[in-house]
Amino acid sequence: MFTLRSAGRTAACTLALSCLSVAANARDYAFGELKITHPWTRPTPPSAPTAAGYLTIVNRGKSPDRLIGGSTPAAGKLEIHQMSMTGGVMSMRPVAGGLVIPAGGSVSLAPEGFHLMLIGPKHPFRPGEHIPVALTFEHAGTVKLNLEVEQPADTGGAMPGMAMPGGHMDMH
Ligand SMILES: [Cu+2]
């Protein structure tokens, strides 16, 4: 799911100890007004058709920005997708017009919601590996970062029927 955080709550959050430790995380990136925290993806089995990338984008600026696309040398194609449940059927589709990051707010790409869809991984992703991606924003431009390949410790949030090899359903 995605979460929108108000500017007021973000300001209060910076005073909390838990947030300070997150800010010190080596996997956080800062690009101008944008901050990207904890970019990650799951290990994939050989010849997996897709992999999904997750991260949180924080916009500390006074105007909204928009994630409009991206690419990776590790897969044939990178798209920005949204997963949704309609009539009991899980489906996903590209986010039309890009993903808006509100001014003073944040958007999380996380399992069962928004995600980066890496289509046609060129090799199996192994735990501890770094998958380079370039993300293009309407205002911040193109930024480069690494998705860390992690095995999620807690799979309790997964939906029934979603526990597939590679942790992601194939819609392509
Ligand atoms: Cu997808």
Amino acid at 126: R
What number is the average pLDDT over the span 52-75? 98
Q: What distance in angstroms lies between residue 50's CA and the mean position of ligand 1's atoms?
A: 8
Residue 158 backbone phi and psi in degrees, to 5: -70, 145
In the chain, what percentage of residues exceed pLDDT 90? 66
Q: What is the pTM of this model?
A: 0.74
Q: What distance in angstroms lies between residue 106's CA and the mean position of ligand 1's atoms?
A: 20
Choose between 23 and 58: higher pLDDT: 58
**Domain regions of the chain by residue span:** 7-151
Q: What distance in angstroms lies between residue 84's CA and the mean position of ligand 1's atoms?
A: 10
Each residue of 147-162: pLDDT tens digit?
A: 999 988 765 444 433 4
- What CA–CA distance (Å, rounded) separates 71 from 136? 9
Q: What distance in angstroms lies between residue 16's CA and the mean position of ligand 1's atoms?
A: 34
Each residue of 93-148: pLDDT tens digit?
A: 999 999 999 999 999 999 999 999 999 999 999 999 999 999 999 999 999 999 99
**Token pair listed for 71:** 């690419």
Q: What distance in angstroms lies between residue 94's CA and the mean position of ligand 1's atoms?
A: 7
- What CA–CA distance (Å, rounded) separates 78 from 110? 16
Residue 64 reports pLDDT greater than 70: yes
Q: What distance in angstroms lies between residue 102's CA and the mean position of ligand 1's atoms?
A: 22
What number is the average pLDDT over the span 37-50? 95
Residue 168 reports pLDDT greater than 70: no
Q: For position 84, what pLDDT does the model report? A: 87
- What CA–CA distance (Å, rounded) separates 113 from 1? 4
Q: What distance in angstroms lies between residue 17's CA and the mean position of ligand 1's atoms?
A: 34
Q: What is the mean pLDDT of the chain?
A: 82
CATH of region 7-151: 2.60.40.1890
DSSP for 61-111 reads SSS-EEEEEEE-TTEEEEEEEEEEEETTEEEEEE-TT-EEE-TT-EEEE-T
Q: What distance in angstroms lies between residue 49's CA and the mean position of ligand 1's atoms?
A: 11
